[in-house]
């Protein structure tokens, strides 16, 4: 899942630590989400979107892995 948390943080002049405190997680969680190493729960994703006042789809984008098939 891709996300634009870093972009929204920059637009609102927030550090990872500032955002983490506001939504009730630690800075490492924000870092892991931004780097794509951790997929947030739906509840956490909504809390992040609500904090920035935007729909969840503006911050998070699901990209399914493409599966290739051999056609013979």
Closest to 20 in 3D by CA, of 44, 54, 53: 44
Query: pLDDT tens digits for 17-28?
Result: 999 999 999 999
The reported pLDDT for the residue numbered 56 is 97
Q: In CATH, which superfamily holds the domain spanning 2-56?
A: lambda repressor-like DNA-binding domains (1.10.260.40)
Query: pTM for the whole thing?
Result: 0.83
**Helix H or strand E encompassing 2:** strand 2-3
DSSP three-state, residue 11: helix
The reported pLDDT for the residue numbered 62 is 84
DSSP three-state, residue 60: strand
């Amino acid at each position: 899942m891709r996300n634009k948390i870093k972009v929204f943080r920059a637009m609102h002049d927030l550090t990872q630590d500032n955002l983490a405190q506001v939504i009730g997680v630690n800075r490492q969680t924000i870092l892991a989400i931004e780097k794509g190493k951790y997929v947030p729960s739906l509840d956490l994703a909504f809390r992040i979107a609500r904090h920035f006042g935007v729909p969840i789809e503006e911050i998070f984008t699901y990209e399914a892995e493409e599966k290739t098939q051999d056609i013979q």
